[in-house]
Amino acid sequence: MWLQDLAGAWIFYTVLPAWPWPQPRFERISRFAPWIGLLIGAVQAGLWMVLSVFGWGAIASAPLVMALGIRLSGGLHHDGLMDTADGLAAGASRQLEAMEDSRVGASGVLALVTLMLVQFSALVQLGALAPIALCLAGFWGRVSPLWAMARFEYLRPNGTAAFHRRHSRPGWDVLPTLMAVLLMAAWIPPFKLLVGLPVAVLVAERLGRQLGGHTGDSYGSVLLVTEALTLLCLAVIASAN
């Protein structure tokens, strides 16, 4: 039942209280990840707009909005970004070993700081357009792992995120994403709405080829990189108009 999978996605991808009904199921939750990303982006957008009502500028609002996004997701993807960066820095022969190490290396810290600086800069440049950009970034960020699951093998057969790849049905799992795009198309111009799509695909492809596949950590990594680059692209478009 799709509603059970949506309830499972709510629990898995956020720290928000669980639904009282229905009983969650966790097998095919990844297909609803873009919807959860849209929700998280909408909550962030709401905070941005509330702060603007009280006279907060973009420079003051951006860090709080970013912190809220981390809190709502439980920081799950940020950990994956740091582990992936450490794995890439370790080289092909040790990358999986380095990614499994619970200690964070210098490459992981630098990757996280760099990504957050990009997000901050883009949000400040977007200003009043930040709320819609946050929704789009949250949405397309969670499309990127879906592409990674469909295109690449999972590198750890017994890994904690292996169930995503095992239960995915690429042809059918894209339907919730398409439904969301059609709904958003009623309010958002196509060139802005779809700017994150090539970003999501290219980021998942590039990292998948670098690693020779994907892991749960790299799913989180492509999500965050896609979010940041989508915000950056929207900021460039906004500044050009």
Q: Write down the pTM of the prediction.
A: 0.94
Whether 18 is in a domain gets the answer no
pLDDT value at residue 110: 96
Whether 26 is in a domain gets the answer no
pLDDT averages per 10-residue partition of the chain, 241 residues: 87 91 86 96 98 97 97 91 92 82 88 97 97 98 93 80 65 85 93 96 96 92 98 95 74
Whether 2 is in a domain gets the answer no
Whether 10 is in a domain gets the answer no
The partner residues of 214 in beta bridges, in order of sequence, read 154
Whether 146 is in a domain gets the answer yes
Q: 176: closest CA among 27, 31, 10?
A: 31
What is the number of domains present in the chain? 1
Whether 29 is in a domain gets the answer no
pLDDT value at residue 159: 67
Are the CB atoms for 212 and 96 separated by under 8 Å? no
